[in-house]
Chain A
Amino acid sequence: MNSDPESEPGSMTAVFACVLARDLKLASRRRIDALLPLAFFIVAISLFPLGVGPEPGMLRDMAPGVVWVCALLASMLSVGSLFAGDHADGSLEQMLLAPTSAIAVALAKCAAHWMVTGLPLIVATPLVGLLFGMSGPALATLVASLALGTPILSLLGGLGAALTLGLRSSGMLLILIVLPLAIPALIFGAGAVGTVEAGMSPQGHFSLLGALLIATAIGAPLATAAALRISTE
């Protein structure tokens, strides 16, 4: 008999690990689908120089904002299918019916979404920074701010996906609901790069971004679990 309570089946960490592994395995079986948000990210970013003109100074100035907005949109567009697959074949309700924590399920799904969508975005950002002619320190700050910010986006997106589960126009509705909540992360994330480009320390912005991450990591899974129960009743 295993005496360690955390490795017992049904404990929060066991459920978390199980759901995370399952989602990653499912994503690995559909690699093209999993990389679509990355493709959208790069294509959408490329639209901006085409739209506003190739003047290098202007591109360098708007690069942090453009990258952040496109990361936000790529996250929001891909998070809609977070619970939809499981909801459609009934496994989501089974997960909620079991005497396991819905919070662990929600957290695991958001973590899987971040690893599949957010991490590739962070890895692709240096390439994008080159396209926009960003300087080294600014680029490093942008990557760091995205590393702190994309988990926030995945967590908030999970809440939105749970609230709009199974609805008709859930894509647009999810974006409308989640974007106002994600705006502070956008402001501080892009602002951090701005302060570095102005020669000042980004520490204030990173502190606020870190605080946002902690608050969201604590609050969002709770709210997402409640939303899942509301949506599947």
Chain B
Amino acid sequence: MNKASAIRPESRLRLFSFAAPSRFYALTGWLVPLCWVVFVGFAGVGLYMGFFVAPTDATQGEVYRIIFIHVPAAWMSMLLYLVMAFWAGIGWAFNARMASVLARAIAPTGAMFAFLALWTGAFWGKPTWGTYWVWDARLTTTLILLFLYLGYIALVNAIDDQRRADQAGALLAIVGSVNVPIIYFSVKWWNTLHQGATISVTAAPKMADTMLTAMLLMTVACWAYAFAVVFMRARAMALERDAHAGWVAALARGRITG
């Protein structure tokens, strides 16, 4: 099999096609700019709607508008942890290096979203609750989520042997993913200062339509941002890991695009 057919994207796709670093690199070569465009578009419209079009809240006034960053960031931090644990688990189960690379690439972005959720929540809490921080169930469990991200990053970076690092990180990520449902349901299980669920799959949302639309647009924007940044990081890691490989050398010589 010659080198060209191994990296030509129009050859038949299989489930593990993009487990090959070279194919992953080629795919993300055009996916990343697309994600950035989607991010800019949706974030622009979402932020405009959230800050200028959506009506003033009956009880909270203008300060509620931080919801358009706070809620998507909180959702992203929880979902990205589960996605990270999933890919790390795939990498461990199938010995697929790119899956573990993807998990490692997700971790810093997930940690950033968790921190952003806590930070924006603090700025929202000061005018509405009277305090920047309170040790209620949801804030505490989100803080634990941030620590879990940091622990994962610390562990995989502390182990020199890549394979052992990937597997140990997978185990830690899977064990820590028990925390995510606890965060999500913490508001229902404990009497807590944090407000309950406003949006549910089964009931009509309890917020104005424009607010909901803006929040969903911002959620899509956050997903696009996450994809873009995670893929960029994963590309860099793939190049590092495969520095000795032929496709990287061909890339450096300009023989193939990516």
Contact = CB atoms under 8 A, between A and B. Distances in A.
Nearest to A219: B175
B179 A230 contact: no
Interface string A193-204: 000000000000
A145 B214 CA distance: 47
A225 B134 CA distance: 38
Size bracket, chain B contacts: 20 to 34
B158 A187 contact: no
B158 A168 contact: yes
A167 B156 CA distance: 11
A233 B147 CA distance: 28
A180 B171 contact: no
A230 B158 contact: no
A164 B171 contact: no
Nearest to B149: A180
B159 A167 contact: yes
A219 B177 CA distance: 13
B144 A180 contact: yes
B182 to A, nearest CB: 8
Interface string B137-158: 0001000100110110011001
B160 to A, nearest CB: 9
A214 interface: no
27 contacts: A159-B175, A163-B155, A163-B171, A163-B172, A168-B158, A173-B155, A173-B158, A176-B147, A176-B150, A176-B151, A176-B154, A177-B151, A177-B172, A180-B144, A180-B151, A180-B176, A180-B179, A184-B182, A187-B140, A223-B175, A226-B171, A227-B168, A230-B168, A230-B171, A231-B164, A233-B163, A233-B164
Interface of A: 159, 163-164, 167-170, 173, 176-177, 179-181, 183-184, 187, 219, 223, 226-227, 230-231, 233
